[in-house]
Chain A
Amino acid sequence: MWQTSLNQPNLSEEEEKKALARAPSLRFRFIVAGVLVIGVIAGLAINLIFDYSQKLADLSYDRLLRSALLQMDENVGLIRNEVSIDIPWSAFATLAQAEEDRVFYKVESLEQGFITGYQDLNSFPPRFPVLDEIQFYNQAYSGEMVRFAWVQRNIIDAETAQTIRIILGQTRLSREAMAASITRKAVEVVVLIALVAITLIIIGSHLVLRPLHRIGRALEDRAVGDLTPIDINTPKETHHLKVAINHFMARLQTNLAQLENYTADAAHQLRTPLASLKALAENARDIGNSDHYSPEKQRQALENIVKQCDTLNQTVTLLLNQAVVSHRLQTHRLALMDLLVPVTESCREQALVALRQGVHLSLECDLKESLILGDRFSIQQMMQNLIENAVRYSGQDSAAPKEVIVQVMAFDLFYRIKVIDHGDGIPDSEKERVFERFYRGRYDVAGSGVGLSMVRDIVNHHSARVKILNTVPKGTTFQVDFAKHRFDGDDQ
């Protein structure tokens, strides 16, 4: 019924603040995850930019280098069978566009040897040399990293054939400066984008979580006992939360209403017998003062009081048992037990009471043991209620054989308990309603109206099935099925 935390968390404001500080923040996680992702992406982008700007700078300055190399190549000629080169001024004017970069070159012929330039330059490119194919590569020379262009080709005239090789190099200052300026610009843009994205995430996280705060505030600001649904406008994403809270409140309201009814009815249940008890007692007192006094009459009146006390006692016991059962159902876990034990026990207890009302109670059972998962006390209470009920409704018609039979049978998957009476039976229209709390089929028969609703609670709690059948020729049969416990399963 009511499930509450065992140690009531009546936290002080300070403790609540501490708990708030310890609690993980959704917004913080969201921002951290966002910043991490953006950081990784920005890092990758910057890495790519570094690579790309280097390539771009090399590409543009390699064009200058190639142009200068080709201009030099054009001016290689054979004079009297000797290779010679007249380097054009324009070739170096091209290179001078890289304002601060030193220039190194070497021209040599495979047959003739060194022709001009810097003799100690390395003549061999890193990749396999192919005739007429310009190679670009970086190599250290004269204490600096130098970008070289390399070409080798055959030069032929009528009398000689020679292979000449031109190596032209330029230091990398301008390239690095260009790459750095591209990189700086691009990195600025990337950082700007990243910062904007992070700002958006921070603002976004605030906006996204605001409806939650609004719902929280709406609940916080409520008057005590206000259980009406929340009707603030919230976005789709928090709609479910709102609906869940509203459903929860509706259930709470139902439960509260039930509790209210129960309390009112319990009071009513107690008040009526108490009032009649008082009336009977007054009657017994007044008999002594009246003119028609006779000891017979007074004994009769006292007998009525005792009967009424018994009824009251039953009602109170039932109410208390119900409270105990509902508490046990909330707090006790189901355990392995023998179903026959509570059934036998309750039959034994009720047999005498039934006999007093002229009803013969019998138990029909061939089983030695019937293991189920259940709560012994609750099941005993259930049996007691069913038997009491059967006994109570058996005694109305004196003509019928007064007998209540309890049967326990085993099936493949379940055990079936039947409580059979031969009373007037329950009309089909009421079969569904008898389990309702405080519903009483007949007001001329004593009863509290809570017994069968308690049966329903216990059955539900055990995931069992209850059915109301008609006894032939007349009467009612309550049939309850409990699932067998199976050891091979993992249901422990």
Chain B
Amino acid sequence: MGIFQVLCMVMLLHVGSVWSADPVWFGSQDNTRVLHVNSTMDLASFEPILKVFVALHPDIKVAYRDVNTLDLYHLTIDQHKQPQASLVISSAMDLQLKLVNDGYAQTYQSNFTERLPSDFRWRHQVFAFSLEPVVMLVNTEVFPGDLPEDRQSLLQTIRQNESIMTQRIGTYDIRQSGVGYLLASQDARQADVTWGRLLEAFGSHQVRTYCCTHEMIDDVASGELVLGYNLLGSYASQRARDDKRLKMILPKDYTLMLMRTALIPKQAPNPQDAGLFLDFLLSDSAQKMMQTQGLLFPIRPDANIPNDPYVVSAPGPTGVIELDQQLLVGRDYAKQKRFIRNWEMALEISELVP
């Protein structure tokens, strides 16, 4: 079975449900300039930004579709001849980079993209507009003993509290979540041994897997889960801010830093307005808004605000996931197949049957 047949099957599985979802509209319905945005980001985090954008450009209306990272990747490829969306925003950096590498994105250059440090863009086709930590989220009320400060102490806690921890750790299902796969593969790359032991511990304690961040956070908040592993910092910090039981932990051994990126598909119907929106995301006002309103982690946060959780002060080293060709390795067909099989075996999950 070739890779394309696999892809087609995955497409058939997921695209149907995505397609039925209606977009959320911003701006006057009478406007003729329409910008379709496909994004993996929760609308809650993005809504204020979109509102400001349509206020700045009253003649544009924006259709915003929230799509799962893996679905978004396949959708973009499927529609590459006649894409509906003019801007594709995703936290799965590896899939975004692969779209660019495989020639699905177009070049865009403006004063804003030129100002961006070269680490935060590739080929002038994919641009990062936020940089957030990957965290553990704990429910302090149900967590046994001291809160873990790194992966080692998490392993220790699991071993010492086997009954409490069983079925009460949540993480991404790397088969369904693109960003989940990215984070797992980066973990394996950063610290192969620790990752192996962690996976083993997850497996022996019947870890629960989630497709999406929200459900996982909900379960941590309700106390059903003690800990969520490898969550996106922006979502976790939003909930931790409002819910005192929740505590966001940046692992001390290393903290992965993830970029959210945007690209314009090659045949995009409205690349001008997509560029406008991208420029807006990179603009100082939007970046500042992300920080002050607690929406996202901006690329260069204003460090003058004291005790701001959006200024990342990791206790240990940070491992910024680099936006370059190395990301292709993680998405290598053979490597991906092996990695998922190992993951399934370790977690003692039977193969996902479509």
Contacts and interface: CB of A to CB of B under 8 A. Distances in A.
A119 B3 contact: yes
B334 A84 contact: yes
Interface stretch (B9-17, B45-53, B249-257, B324-332): B324-332
Contacts of B334: 84-87, 107, 115-116
Most buried by B among A86, A93, A99, A102: A102
A93 B328 CA distance: 10
A171 to B, nearest CB: 9
A61 B246 CA distance: 51
B123 A100 contact: yes
Nearest to A120: B4
B218 to A, nearest CB: 35
Nearest to B339: A86
Interface in B331-349: 332-335, 338
Contact of B326 (A96, A102, A104, A107): A96
B318 interface: no
Interface string B185-198: 00001000000000
Interface residues of A, number: 26
Contacts of B338: 84, 86
Contacts of A142: 102-103
Interface string B273-295: 00000000000000000000000
Contacts of A102: 100-101, 103, 123, 325
Interface in B209-253: none
A229 interface: no
B324 A89 contact: no
Interface centre among B3, B325, B328, B338 (most CB of A within 10 A): B325
Contacts of A119: 2-4
A103 B101 contact: yes
Given A102-B101, A114-B2, A119-B2, A89 B326 contact: yes
Contacts of A107: 334
Contacts of B322: 96
Contacts of A96: 322, 324-326
B204 interface: no
A143 B325 contact: no
A91 B324 CA distance: 13
Contact of A87 (B4, B101, B324, B332): B332
B110 interface: no
Interface-centre pick from A86, A89, A116, A144 (highest chain B CB count, 10 A): A89
Nearest to B3: A119
Interface in A90-113: 91-93, 95-96, 99-104, 107
Interface in A107-165: 107, 114-117, 119, 142-144
Nearest to A98: B325
A114 B333 CA distance: 11
B103 A99 contact: no
B333 A116 contact: yes
Query: Secondary structure at chain B's binding surface: helix, strand, loop or mixed?
Result: helix
Nearest to A118: B102
Contacts of B325: 92, 95-96, 101-103
Mostly, the A contact residues are mixed
A103 B322 CA distance: 16
A93 B321 CA distance: 12
B333 A117 contact: yes
B25 interface: no
Interface in A72-93: 84-89, 91-93
Contacts of B122: 100
Q: Which of B102, B189, B326 has the most CB of A within 10 A?
A: B326
A175 to B, nearest CB: 15
Contacts of B326: 89, 92-93, 96
B324 A99 contact: yes
A99 B118 contact: yes
Contacts of B123: 100, 102
A88 B330 CA distance: 9
A257 B4 CA distance: 112
B332 to A, nearest CB: 5
A87 B189 CA distance: 12
Nearest to B123: A100
Nearest to B334: A116
Interface string B100-139: 1111000000000000001000110000000000000000
B32 to A, nearest CB: 32
Contacts of B2: 114, 119
Contacts of A114: 2-3
Nearest to B185: A89
A395 to B, nearest CB: 121
A92 B103 contact: no
A87 B118 CA distance: 26
A89 B100 CA distance: 19
Interface of B: 2-4, 100-103, 118, 122-123, 189, 322, 324-326, 328-329, 332-335, 338
Given A84-B334, A95-B325, 8 more contacts: A86-B335, A89-B326, A92-B329, A93-B326, A104-B101, A107-B334, A119-B2, A142-B103
9 closest A-B pairs by CB: A116-B334, A96-B324, A116-B333, A96-B325, A92-B326, A142-B103, A102-B101, A92-B329, A103-B325
